[in-house]
């Protein structure tokens, strides 16, 4: 069980290994530093960072996820 932002371990997070469920879109023109996660249940992903009403993706393969989302949509 992973720890949440305040150090408590009362939330179970999921580790994404299979990217077929991932969807994301790029938010800036400067590389793939700002990528919004569009996947359902994204707040439970270990690579997700909740920022306001958005969930940002920090997955090491986020560029591939964005490209896959763009071609499937």
The per-residue pLDDT for range 42-66, each reduced to its tens digit, is 777 888 898 888 899 999 999 999 9
Residue 13 lies in a domain: no
Domain that holds residue 30: 19-72
Please give the pLDDT value at position 2: 47
Please give the pLDDT value at position 44: 78
Residue 60 lies in a domain: yes
Residue 29 lies in a domain: yes
Residue 1 lies in a domain: no
Question: Residue 14: what are its φ and ψ, rounded to 5°?
Answer: -110, 140
Please give the pLDDT value at position 16: 60
- Which SS3 state, helix, strand or coil, does residue 69 take? helix
Run of H or E residues at 35: strand 35-37
Contacts of 42 (CB under 8 A, 6+ apart): 48, 55, 57
Residue 6 lies in a domain: no
Residue 10 lies in a domain: no
Q: Confirm if 46 and 15 have CB atoms less than 8 A apart.
A: yes
Question: Residue 65: what are its φ and ψ, rounded to 5°?
Answer: -65, -45
pLDDT digits (tens, 9 = 90+) for 12-31: 555 665 688 899 999 988 88
Residue 23 lies in a domain: yes
Q: Which two tokens stand for residue 1?
A: 């069980």
Residue 59 lies in a domain: yes
Number of separate domains in the chain: 1
């Amino acid at each position: 069980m992973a720890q949440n932002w305040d150090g408590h371990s009362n939330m179970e997070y999921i580790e994404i290994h299979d990217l077929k469920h991932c969807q994301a879109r790029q938010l800036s023109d400067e590389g793939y530093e700002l990528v919004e996660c569009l996947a359902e249940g994204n707040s439970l992903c270990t690579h997700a960072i909740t920022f306001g009403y958005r969930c940002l993706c920090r997955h090491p393969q986020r560029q591939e996820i964005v490209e896959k989302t763009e071609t499937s949509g």
